[in-house]
Amino acid sequence: MTTNGLSVQDLFEFSFLSDPQLSPDGKWVVFVKKVINEKEKYQSNLFLMDVDSKEITQFTQGNFSDVQPRWSSNGRYIFFVSNRSGEQQIWNIAFNGGEASQVTTFKRGASQPVLSPDGKKLIVTVPLSAADSLEEKETKKEKTEEKLKPYITTNLQYKSDAKGFSDETFDHLVLIDLETGTQSLLTDGQYDHHSPAFSPNGMHVAYSANRSEDPEQTFFSDIYQVDLTTNGTEKLTSSDKRFYTPNYSPDGTKLSLLGDDLEYTGATLTRVWILDFATKELSCLTSEWDVECNDVAINDMGSGAASAGAVWSKTNDALFFLASELGSTSLYQVTLNKNITKVVGGKRQVYAFSTDKNQERFVYAVSQSATIPGDLFVSTLSGGDEQRLTAVNEHLLQTKTLSVPEDFHFKANDGTELQGWIMKPVGFKEGETYPLVLEIHGGPHAMYSHAFMHEFQVLAEKGYGVLFMNPRGSHGYGQQFVDAVRGDYGGIDYDDVMVAVDYALENYDWIDSSRLGVTGGSYGGFMTNWIVGHTNKFKAAVTQRSISNWLSFYGVSDIGYFFTEWEHKTTVIEDPEELWRISPLRYAKNIQTPLLILHSEHDYRCPIEQAEQLYVALKQQKKPTRFVRFPESNHELSRSGDPGLRIIRLDEITNWFDAYLK
């Protein structure tokens, strides 16, 4: 069967848009466009668009990573982060063009530029060790032969999937006077500091940090405020909640915050809060609204962006924020008296937004199932006259036939309403039957959505139907739904995905029940492993960056020591028998389904020993299996990993299913 759907190789042709920033006057938007260059590596540059004419100009050039663009308050300059000097540093460039100039030269780089309202000062985030000084400059590193040294630590958290082994640095906030070049450190100690924000008069800075005696064992995050005239720092919250992304109201009397009270640990809904400076009172504006106030939708187009938090209306009486509900991420407004309205909605993922100084326009980035991998739109506050600004992948998509996901609702075994999506194979013909692949998302506290998924389109192009859904544990359906899986992995979630398969088989007569496949990554890899140990319904399976043994996961994962307790409500020390009961490895003797195991060598979230244990257990039993190890890659391979390895990964998945389901 020849089709003209999206192929594996088409990944190289995509452009990935993120971080749109509207100019103060609302006439221009700067955004990041990432592409895969001729060397099969990522390249990110800044692009400028005239919002009225929709004319786009490439603003920065070269094979670099230019990201995090931010306008000066007068609109004359754009500050951004670039690795063009070797390390990631802050640069700026005049809006009317010219050469970019380097602003910072910190030894370990800098990121997250935040400009003061008068444009004269800049706060940046800088990794510093206890021995570092601000004066130490970035140097071109010569490759020298270094003696082998052991890695030594006394920390509980000594590695992370994002950064590898800890280098004992912490993120600190540095204030830079742009007129004199003077640099001053706003934070101290062995703590990480995040999300700085200037007060409207430029005299105060708020930020979030966990500065407790034992940050490795406590998971709250407080809000602090530093007075730039006295250098005095005040703690504004009481160490019993997780708060982040503070934003000052235009009149300077309040802060908006995103956060939660950890009541359901990692499954607690993020909500919108305000802190009143006069009364020191915290109030939650979305406490009566059973919705996650964040974008938690999954896509594989690398279109995530740092959260803007809850952005104030210019009238000081409302906030704008993203929230995830029923498989969509939309832009909402909440007033100070808790009235919530949808500003920009639809069956899609809105993954970033920005507004101009007068809030006459919103620019936002959208991903939508079969039509928009990631593009920019503009609308007014009322959301009534949306215009599409970009169509960066149209040259590719208009030559392709895409499978359009249809969402459907069905009942779980206990009567709970569930949501799923089904995609027909490209080239579908009535009266013929086709194999079906069930995809299971990671998290588990995330959400499949109406966003674009290249991987799903690749499967459809290869002649597979694709089924995906949000089982218990997923976001989008309220607090009780997302919490239901805690303490019940392999229970209610397994029931939900199997009911989805049964529903699809009953309602779509084109599915061949003898040719079913299953795949998933991370938690979805755990579920894949669990499924093949408990049923022979599937004829082939692919497990990715998976968990097979919760006993060893506890000690080897960068989050294992707390994630295990949060999600399973026990630990290796308290109840090792329970962790073994819910470990797929325990059921390896039951596995008959041919299982492809994909894993990254540098995955510290679900370390590769999880794959090794399962592979050896299957291989020793002479069960059909294959083990693919991806070098120099971490847990994020499928979303932001090396492009060439992403291609190999997709080929491995489709070849495995072709061998057993065709």
| Distance in angstroms (rounded) separating the CA atoms of residues 602 and 169 | 20
**Alpha-carbon distance 378 to 632, whole Å?**
39
Of 332, 327, 359, nearest to 343 (Cα)?
332
Q: Which of 82, 522, 548, 633 is catalytic?
A: 522
The span from the CA of 630 to the CA of 144, in Å, is: 27
* CB atoms closer than 10 angstroms to residue 472: 25
Kindly report the CA angle at 249 between 245 and 253, in degrees rounded to 5?
115
Distance, in Å, from the CA atom of 109 to the CA atom of 171, rounded to the nearest integer, reads 11
Q: What is the DSSP letter of 313?
A: P
CA-closest candidate to residue 548, choices 493, 607, 499: 607
Residues 6+ apart with CB under 8 A from 180: none
Query: Do residues 120 and 178 lie in contact, with contact meaning Cβ atoms separated by under 8 Å?
Result: yes
Indicate the DSSP class of residue 563.
Answer: H
Q: Give the closest residue to 89 by CA, choosing from 139, 33, 146, 25.
A: 139
Q: Distance (Å, rounded) from C-alpha 522 to C-alpha 543?
A: 8
The answer to whether the bond into 444 is cis (omega within 30° of 0) is: yes
What letter does residue 647 receive in the DSSP assignment? H
Main-chain phi, psi angles of 242, to 5 degrees: -105, 115
Give start and end residues of each alpha helix (H) in 344-392.
Answer: none
Tokens of residue 440, six digits: 């299971």
d(CA 546, CA 527) in angstroms, rounded, equals: 9
Q: How far apart are CA 35 and CA 44, in angstroms?
A: 6
Instruction: Write the DSSP symbol of residue 585.
Output: G
Helix runs in 59-157, H state only: none
- For the chain, what is the radius of gyration of the CA atoms? 25
Transcribe 137-194 into DSSP letters: BP-PPP---PPP-------S--EETTTEE--S-EEEEEEEETTT--EEE---SS--EE
Q: Which of 572, 642, 639, 629 is nearest to 601 (CA)?
A: 629
Q: Which residues contact 396 (CB under 8 A, 6 or more apart)?
A: 10, 13, 14
Closest CA to 553 of 512, 532, 523, 530: 523
Q: Active-site residue among 204, 441, 445, 635?
A: 635
For residue 403, indicate whether it is catalytic: no
Nearest CA among 311, 427, 317, 218 for reference residue 21: 311
Catalytic site residue 194? no
- As a whole number of angstroms, the distance between CA 489 and CA 508 comes to 29
Catalytic machinery residues: 522, 635
